[in-house]
Structure formats: C-alpha cells, structure tokens
Amino acid sequence: MAVISYREALNQAMREEMERDANVFVMGEEVGHYNGAYKVTQGMLQRFSERRIIDAPIAEMGFAGIGVGAAMVGLRPIIEFMTFNFSLVAIDQIVNNAAKIYQMSAGQFHIPIVFRGPGGPAVQVGSQHSQSLESFYAHVPGLKVVMPSTAADAKGLLKTAIRDDNPVVFIEGETLYNSTWEVPDGDVLIPIGKGDIKRAGSDITLVAWSKMVWTCLDAAKELAKDGIECEVVDPRTLRPLDVDLIVESVTKTGRCVIVEIGWPVAGFGAEVAYQVQKHCLDALDAPIERVTSEDVPMPYAKNLEDEVQPQVHDVVAAVKRALYLEA
C-alpha cells in the first residue's frame, strides 16, 4: 500500500480507467500540454495522445455540451473544470441536459459523464473563485455528487464515477491536492453512496466532507486532550447520502455537529441536520450544531479569509456547546 498525494491518486484513477476502456477521454482547459491547471492530468497527453486528452478553449458551456453529446453516443467523457466556480458557465448543460436526458428520453440514453475539478476556497483567489457549490448540484435529481477528502477515497470514487452510467459531479478539495494518504494497490472501487468513519469516538458525532474532514480531525485531537472523544463521519458522497451511517453514529453518541465550508443558508448541512432530527430525535441529548463559513463573499485579505472559513477553534466551540460545556 503506497502513500501518495490526492493529486497522484486522481491521476492514477484516470490512467487506469483510460487503459481499461478506450471510450474514456478527458476534455478541459489546459488538461493536455500544460498538464492541467493543478497538474492532475500530468503526463496523460504523452500516454494517450490528443485524441483522448483534449485541450478545450475557454468555453465551459461548449465543451460540457460536447461531453454530454459524446456520452449520449456511448463514450465516457471526463470533463474537467479548472475550478467549479467556472462550472456555473456550463450549468445549463449540467442541470438541464446531463441530469435530465435519461428521464426525458424514457431511458433510451444513459449519460455516463464525470464533471470534475477543484471546488471550495483555495488561498487568496478572491470571492469569484472561492465558492463551495455542492449544495447547488446536490439539489438536482439525476446528478450524483461526490466530494472525497483523502487520496484513497479520491481514487476509488473517481474510478467508480467513470464507470457509472449516470452523470457524476466530482468536486475535489482545492487545497487537498498535496495531502497524502495510504492508497490500496490494485483495482479498488469505492461505492457511491457509502460513507466512512474517519475517526471513531463515543461522545459526539462530527459530520463533514472534503477539506472540513481534516479540520474536524484536528479538532478531535484537541478535544481528546480534554477527554472528549469525537467520531468523525465523512459521507464522501452527498447525493446519494449515506443517511444510515450518520444515523448509526448519532444514535450512539447522542450529539451532532455538522461542519461545512459552504454558506449557512440552504447549505447541504441543513439537509444533514434534517435527516439527523428525523431519524435520531429520541437519541439526541442536545440541539444539532452547524459550523459554516460566514454568510459573505470570500474576502481577499488572508486574515479575513481565515476568519470567514471554519477553523479548528470554531469546531471545538461548537462541540463544547453541544456538550453543554463552556466554550
């Protein structure tokens, strides 16, 4: 079992699937000669040629539409957005075409397409490049939404997404590309819709995805110094959501804090909170807490950027509120 970066894991997943299936190809801005804006497609042009690693112009609506059409005739496109902020330019193709063609064609056309790229805030890239848009896409029936937090999850879930006959929105943590994790050898697939316990605990459940899993793990280490044992639940996929795993954990601990880097109003954490109260009301010993980014566009100044996003001390404070301890 090798320890590799999140970036390398994604690269491995695409290489392996392209070698396994000649119908898989990658299209996006700078994916070929530049090796990808975040170097996720490094070396793939040399391996697979311009026929399968296709540099697209700055026209997200156009190349997303090409991908949808290619999927309709049996190919398996991987459409890379340089950042998911730019997917908003292509949202008509994703929401009105990719998500709906199977239903509108009465099952005549499957759309086996993956829309992938980095999402969430990076570091000082401004408000237009720092948005977490997962709740937008998780709202849409017909789309699957995947947000891995580790290299192992990134590889296993991307391979599964490429083989899926339905459109998958695969949002990578923009600040996770250099993070490392043990990745199993061989053709390991992770089912979409199956979450994971990243840290076992007995006192409170922390539910988080993507970058916030790491924030919760750091918070759990801090809280362990005070004898508080947190269980960190990573859904890994938001649609479909592994409600059973979350319910099992909260039923055990009796308390729940949901941590997301998106905005609070209509954020995906609100859906998680609904599912927890629906299934765990009798087990809850305290109100559900949510930790989110502040309800503002992302500032550019680094000190303000850090202030806006959830930090370890914010999670620690929420846990202590849920435990009726002084924060």
Q: Please give the Cα distance from 269 to 51 (Å, whole number).
A: 41
Distances (CA, A) of 267 to 14, 161, 165, 238, 259: 30, 24, 27, 12, 10
Place of tokens 């490392």: 180
Beta strand 24-28 with 76-80 is parallel
Q: Annotated catalytic residue: which of 17, 60, 271, 289? A: 60
Distances (CA, A) of 229 to 226, 244, 247: 9, 21, 18
Active site residue 326: no
Q: Annotated catalytic residue: which of 110, 129, 139, 279? A: 129
Let me know the angle formed at the C-alpha of 276 by 206 and 321, rounded to the nearest 5 degrees: 50
Place of tokens 């990578």: 172
Q: Is 55 strand, coil or helix? A: strand
| Contact criterion met (CB below 8 Å) for 297 and 127 | yes
Place of tokens 């299934």: 279
Active site residue 33: no
List residues with catalytic annotation: 60, 129
